[in-house]
Structure 1
Amino acid sequence: MQRLSKAIPIFQPKGLTKNVLKASSAQDLLQKLGFVKKSQSGVFQWLPLGLRSLRKINQIIRQGMNEGVNGQEVALSVLSPKEIWETTKRWNNNELFKLKDAKGAEFCLTGTCEEDITSLMKNYVNSYKDLPLMVYQIGRKYRDEIRPRGGLLRGREFIMKDGYSFAATKSDALELFRDVNVVYERIFQQLQIPVVKALADSGEIGGDLSQEFHLLHNSGEDTVFKCDACDEVSTMEKCEAIPVQEGKHLGKVAVKYALTTDHSTLICFYFPEGRELNWNLALKSMDSDIDIHLKDVHNDKILEIYKGELDDEMFACIMRVMDSRISSRSDFPDFPLTKYLKNNFSQLDGVPLVNAEDNEICASCGEGHLHGSKSIEVGHTFYLGTKYSGPLNLNFTDKDNIKNNTLVQMGCYGIGVSRLIGAIAEIYKDDLGLNLPSSISPYLVSFCVPPGDAESGTYVQLMNDLANISKLKNEIMTQFPSNTGLGGRITLSHSIGIPLCVIVGPKSWPNVEIEIRSPLLLKRKEPNWVGEYAIFHDQYNWNVIEENEKHPEKHIVSAAHLSDVISILLKGL
């Protein structure tokens, strides 16, 4: 006899009501329903139901990485030495948790592992014959968020899949980058979630090519824009917009000061007051010749630094960059320098400098209008080039047998695993709780009987029949808090997102009810079971009550044919 997988009742919620479920946010529901428990700001303990969902996501990711790009799984330490972070000039990142051991050696808790994986691979990559190579891991990461928010969406400790590619040439590296993006699309399809791909900024990770995967939802803290003509999708940071009418902003103008990398020139970025400067566009306008480390420094401090390095203010070099929305008729602030030579003064006009807004024109095609949507980032891929292999000296013997001659070309690829659960909870929350895709639901089937009846011989036989369905191995939830009645058990099953709820009670016997709780099954135009229902309707004594405001879709079937109908319904999950 096959053993049935059982939840642990001590972690299951008690006293759930429809009002409680309806009034709770998705992140609160994950706690109330026993997926996670917050231990402190931005830190969560994972409970049995949450762990089951996590493991399902991890398995889909592993399968995708192993089969799609021949990935090799590792598990790196979360303790990373200061020295390698100093080598890549990332130790001063204020989001790193830092600590010292008893001997005074300094470490950080890894928020990302480019330094560690590059150092590790120096032991194993020696020749071009060792390449290309893909390595990945799934584990905990740490970020010292000052204000963690959104529950699992932005925590101080989180679970992440991070992968790293190593190639002999740039073309090989870019091919791997494209291959992983295809694998990521496949992973998200298997997770049954509607992601959009967006051109993205590489940020602190580095590199000059990256792509993000987003779930569109109003609760998201990111924004992606889509052009209604060319269909290009990009993040706020990467989106370049042309105003509908250039130079028409006649109101007040804001200015942000910057310095060139050698601090020889003061750069003045002018843009409409109330709009936000986009640093990617600012860097593009100056061909990246900006000291980006000063981007968050106040204007007064920038002027102080600049004037402090001038021998004579008269010989100041000034570059004014004008956003395309403003013109000479706009209301400019006072200029900060009173003495300068006209020959040292230059100006760029008509440059897009600010974050895009709805209905502005897409700069990529010059025709379509941009439309923004709030979103949650769940994946990010980067082509890194030699950003890390260079400073950490990861090189190899090339085809000409010249040793240590060529740097390895790298890429990195992340999926926020714990964030995925928080994001999916957001987009699939409804009045009954969490309407999860079957791919991450803790169980596929719940078996609900009145308290005290679970040991009945007839009911045990029904459970064993279900357990013998291969797809249901360890996927049937049978245990509930002992003081919870049949109605409470059904409510609990629906609230934690179990797709199929089998209800067995004396009033309906010898028939059994199956309530469907699955966005994938319910939103199809043609349910997967319709054809077989027409064939077996009479034989199985099978009737269907469609979903309405009071209850989910319900299938009523003879107990003798419960396993047959469950097998049919499972085909659509």
Structure 2
Amino acid sequence: MFLQSVSKSWHHMRGVRCTSSMTPRNRLSKMFMPTSKEKVSASNADAVASHSLMLKAGFIRQSSSGIYSMLPMGLRTLEKIENVIDEEMKAIGGQRLALPLVLSSELWKKTGRWDKMGGELFKLQDRKESDLLLAPTHEEEITHIVANELSSYRQLPIRLFQIGRKYRDEMRPRSGLLRGREFTMKDLYTFDESIETASVTYDEVQGAYQRIFERIGVPFAVAEADTGNIGGFRSHEYHVLSSVGEDSLLTCPTCSYTANEEKAIGKIPAHEQHKVVEANDNTKQTDNVLDQMINDWKNFLLASVTASATSGKDNDTVFEETAMVSVYSHSERDINILKVQDFMRKTMENKAAQQGDFSQVNFTFTPIASNHQDFKTTGDLLNKKQNVHVLHDESLLNYPWFSLNKKREQWKQAMDVVNTPVTVHDLGDFRTAKEGDLCSNCTTHNISSQLVMNKAIEVAHTFLLGTRYSKTLDCSFTPREPVTGGGKLPVQMGCYGIGVSRLAASVIESLHDERGMVWPTSIAPYRVCILVADTRSDESNTIADDLYDQLNGQPSVSTHVLSDQVILDDRKGGFGFKIRDAEMIGYPFVVIVGKKTLNDGKVEIKERRSGQESHQVELSIQEAVSYLKTRITDQLTVK
């Protein structure tokens, strides 16, 4: 009975061609891919090429504002990106884990970010009215986990990463996956013994990021960046250049120095240094000396600062200060609020360090006035017996009458009248750099070292955090060498993110053309599409199936580069709509089985190239298999 059953099964299988792995062939006729012939309408906020093309090609569908469902083709692309990231993270010792999407507020309140991030958090409560949030990031959670398990330096270094969904309540979700409220991210968190070993880790991760973007095959730039709300003291951004980007990068063509506009340092060019500066027409005479000092300037900023620090042991307050900050710059130079904020944060941290050991400085910076319309009077603001910090940008040296020593005397006299402490700091860089400034990194300054501005999309960010979170959350270890008092040391941390879903959209923005998306071979949903020109021809269908099996089931290296990377377009309908769909979806290679195949035994291979006519060759079936294997292997090899 058993033999009869086997015999029947064998006869049933005869004539059925299967792939070597006995898996069904990938067929577009069986796939859920709701493409659209018409231009898909998007709201004005989402009117970018990546969003329109992903909708039209059936990669995504919108669920609600800033939240999207990933359909099969879109999900395959995200998984390709995730695989590249996963391999490179593991290559530097990263171990993958999964962290919860719903977090308790307890740790976030302890680090101060529950209030600091405010409306950006999706906050909720459970039935017991406990505060929770949807995870926008996981510094607190991962630090808490490691803190509970870490005891000795022998357990370090630790490198943990995850790839998952994150949530931020964007005020204005826009541009599809470029700025959504739900998104997919990779986060790597590192824990080291010392700032020296943490810096080595930082460099290793930067090397891994370099390989990730080179393997993906998209033009990118690495820029020095501000640490922002995450904290820390070393930070870089990774950008895809695109006209729809919200970031502005300043780059030196000579030495390749690149920095975000908010962080960039530019030297004032010679023609601006020697420019004769006219007196300020807005100057008004007033009885209030402080008002007069403000009115003398076109560019000024008035802000309030509060800072406090608590001890790492008993949580007692060891430092506290409330102060006013008054900043001045050249009339043709905008004041950079982030640079001012960073300077004042470091000033307060230095003051706190003089008072003893502290876990962190809770710091707030609130701009009050930045022009004469906002500004009413300094009297009420500066006469509150608060400390006053005065900052002058070095661009003021362009004024021939400017003297820092004279300003120090004026401020001291004015503040003595109201018995208010004042500190007039040395000249510094408190201005926003701009295109045409000279590169601060080059030793010789000429026209070739003038900074050039480009718009870009931020797709990754690296932070060397130091002890920003480990001190607050008591993540510490017993060191190699005993420390004074026999205590423990806080671990040195780093966090490193890549926006997976944003990167997918950014690749489209960077590489699309008028025909559609142009995917790099490494992350294309499928690397080869076999297009059957006339599915009514049984012979054409048989040839296409045979070609599919040869590509998908080739041994050795081709198994790696083409296994499950081929799809058959066997849909009913005309050749025109199929080839238009193939170009819109952006398969790197399209193999056409048509009349030439039936008459001459040759297939036509089209290679998709951004902004160019597709490169075409005609080859026999065997030649086509060898050609595709070689071309794809070459494209996947990072030069």
TM-score normalised to the size of structure 2?
0.76
Shift of 1:233: 1.3
Shift in Å, 1:340: 4.2
Distance 1:139 1:286, change over 3 A: closer
User: What is the distance in 2 between the residues matched to 1:401 and 1:338?
Assistant: 51
1: CA distance, partners of 2:137 / 2:375: 31
The answer to whether the 8 Å contact 2:531/2:592 transfers is yes
CA–CA distance in 2 between the matches of 1:478 and 1:562?
Answer: 15
Which 10-residue stretch deviates more, 72-81 or 279-288? 279-288
Structure 1 letter corresponding to 2:35: P
Distance 1:121 1:302 in 2: 49
Please say if residues 253 and 452 of structure 2, whose CA atoms lie closer than 8 Å, have aligned partners that are also in contact. yes
Distance in structure 1 (CA, Å) of the matches to 2:339 and 2:198? 26
How far has the Cα of 1:179 moved from its partner? Answer: 0.7
The answer to whether the aligner puts 1:88 opposite 2:103 as a matched pair is: no
SS at match of 1:91: helix
Indicate the residue corresponding to 2:35 in structure 1: 13
Residue matched to 1:558: 620
Q: Does 1:378 align with 2:459?
A: yes
1:452 shift after superposition: 3.2
Secondary structure in structure 2 of the residue aligned to 1:183: helix
Q: What corresponds to 2:162 in structure 1?
A: 137
Matched, 1:412 2:507: no
Instruction: In structure 1, give the amino acid aligned to 2:94.
Output: G
1:382 positional shift: 0.8
State the alpha-carbon separation in 2 of the partners of residues 275 and 147 from structure 1: 30
Q: Which amino acid aligns with 1:562?
A: A
The match for 1:571 is 633
Question: How big is the alpha-carbon RMSD for the aligned residues of Structure 1 and Structure 2?
Answer: 3.3
> Is residue 71 from structure 1 mapped to residue 94 from structure 2 by the alignment?
yes
Deviates more, 1:268-277 or 1:103-112: 268-277
Per-residue deviation, residues 241-272 of structure 1 (Å, max 9, x unmatched) = 23223475546713211235455543211235
Counterpart residue identity of residue 590, structure 2: C
- For the 8 Å contact 1:454–1:460, the answer to whether it is kept is no
SS in 2 for 1:34: coil
Q: Name the SS for the 1:413 alignment partner.
A: strand
- C-alpha separation in 2, matches of 1:460 and 1:404: 69
2:163–2:187 contact (8 Å) kept in structure 1: yes
Assess, with a 3 A threshold, how the Cα gap between structure 1 residues 356 and 321 changes in structure 2: closer, same or farther: same
Judge conservation of contact 2:391–2:424 (CA < 8 Å) in 1. yes
Q: 1:49 to 1:325 in 2, by over 3 A?
A: same
Give how far 1:325 is off. 3.6
Instruction: Please give the per-residue CA displacement for 1:422-463, whole angstroms capped at 9, x wherever unaligned.
Output: 100001110110011011110011011123347843332232
CA drift of 1:355 comes to: 1.4
In 1, the alpha carbon distance for the partners of 2:345 and 2:465 equals 19
Partner of 1:29: 53
Task: Give the AA of the match of 1:566.
Answer: L
**Is the CA contact 1:242–1:324 (under 8 Å) kept in the aligned structure 2?**
no
The partner residue of 1:478 within 549, 553, 568 is 568
Equivalent-residue separation in structure 1 for 2:630 and 2:620 (angstroms): 14
Cα deviation per residue 1:346-383 (whole Å; 9 max; x = unaligned)?
A: 64575332211111123344633221111111111111
Alpha-carbon separation, structure 2, partners of 1:16 and 1:474: 30
Correspondence 1:464 to 2:549: yes
Residue matched to 2:477: 396
Q: Distance in 1 between matches of 2:148 and 2:389?
A: 48
- Please tell me whether the aligned partners of residues 16 and 492 of structure 1 are also in contact (alpha carbons under 8 angstroms): no
Please say which of residues 179-188 and 123-132 is displaced more in the overlay: 123-132
In structure 2, what is the Cα distance between the partners aligned to 1:415 and 1:347?
Answer: 41
Structure 1 residue 42: Cα displacement: 1.1
Letter in 1 for 2:605: I
TM-score by length of 1: 0.84
Q: Secondary structure of the residue that 1:123 maps to in structure 2?
A: helix
Alignment-derived partner of residue 42 in structure 1: 66
> In structure 2, do the counterparts of structure 1 residues 249 and 182 end up closer, same or farther at CA, with 3 Å as the change threshold?
farther
CA offset digits 1:72-100 (Å, max 9, x no partner): 00000011111100111110112111000
For 2:395 and 2:216, the matched residues in 1 are separated by 43
Alignment-derived partner of residue 511 in structure 2: 428
Name which of 284, 293, 300 aligns with 2:364: 293
| Structure 1 residues 48-447: aligned runs within 5 Å | 48-67=72-91, 69-92=92-115, 93-94=117-118, 95-244=120-269, 245-246=272-273, 250=278, 253-261=298-306, 265-272=323-330, 276-283=334-341, 286=344, 288-289=346-347, 293-297=364-368, 307=380, 318-326=388-396, 327=399, 340-341=415-416, 347=424, 351-365=428-442, 367=445, 368-400=449-481, 405-447=488-530
Q: Check the 8 A contact 1:249/1:272 in 2, yes or no.
A: no
SS at match of 2:470: coil
Q: As a proportion of its length, which structure holds more helix?
A: 2
Please tell me whether the aligned partners of residues 500 and 518 of structure 1 are also in contact (alpha carbons under 8 angstroms).
no
Q: Is the 8 A contact 2:303 2:367 kept in 1?
A: no
Structure 2 counterpart of 1:11, which letter?
M
Q: Residue in 2 aligned with 1:526?
A: none
Going from structure 1 to structure 2, the CA distance change for 1:86 and 1:513 (only over 3 Å counts) comes to same
Equivalent in the alignment of 2:5: none
- Tell me, yes or no, if the aligned pair for 2:62 and 2:69 is still in contact at 8 Å: yes
CA distance in 2, matches of 1:378, 1:201: 15
Partners in 2 of 1:336 and 1:496 — Cα distance? 65
Change in Cα spacing, 1:454 to 1:259, as seen in structure 2 (3 Å) is farther
Deviations 1:148-203 (A, max 9, x none): 12211111111000000011111111111111111110111111122221111111
**CA 1:307 to 1:454, structure 2 compared with 1: closer, same or farther past 3 Å?**
farther
Indicate how the Cα distance of structure 1 residues 15 and 285 shifts in structure 2: closer, same or farther if over 3 A, else same: closer
**Distance (Å, rounded) in 1 between the aligned partners of 2:433 and 2:96:** 40
AA in 2 matched with 1:486: F
| 1:235 to partner: Cα distance | 1.2
The answer (yes or no) to whether the contact 1:394–1:407 under 8 Å persists in 2 is yes
* Separation (CA, whole Å) in 2 of partners of 1:83 and 1:173: 27
**Which secondary structure state, in structure 2, belongs to the residue aligned with residue 427 of structure 1?**
helix
CA 1:248–1:426: 2 relative to 1, 3 Å: farther
Cα distance 1:163–1:249, how it changes in 2: closer, same or farther (>3 A)? farther
Q: 1:24 & 1:387 partners in 2: Cα distance?
A: 37
1:303 Cα deviation after fit: 8.8
Shift, 1:11, TM fit? 2.1
Local SS of the residue matching 2:634: coil
Deviation at 1:131?
0.3
Q: For residues 548 and 495 of structure 2, what CA distance do their matches in structure 1 show?
A: 46
Distance 1:411 1:346 in 2: 34
CA distance in 2, matches of 1:196, 1:428: 15
The DSSP-based 3-state class of the residue aligned with 1:201 is coil
Determine the C-alpha separation between the residues in 1 that align with 2:205 and 2:538: 47
Equivalent in the alignment of 2:608: 517
- When residues 507 and 397 of structure 1 are mapped into structure 2, their CA distance, relative to the original with a 3 A threshold, is same
Which ranges of structure 1 fall in alignment gaps of 5 or more residues? 523-546
Equivalent residue for 2:6?
none
* Deviation (angstroms), 1:518: 4.4
Q: CA shift at 1:401, angstroms? A: 7.2
Count residues with an aligned counterpart.
533
More moved, 85-94 vs 234-243: 234-243
Q: For residues 539-550 of structure 1, what are the structure 2 equivalents within 5 Å?
A: 548=613
Aligned equivalents of 1:129 and 1:211: distance in 2?
29
Closer, same or farther: CA 303–202 of 1 in aligned 2, 3 Å: farther
- What is the aligned-residue identity percentage? 31
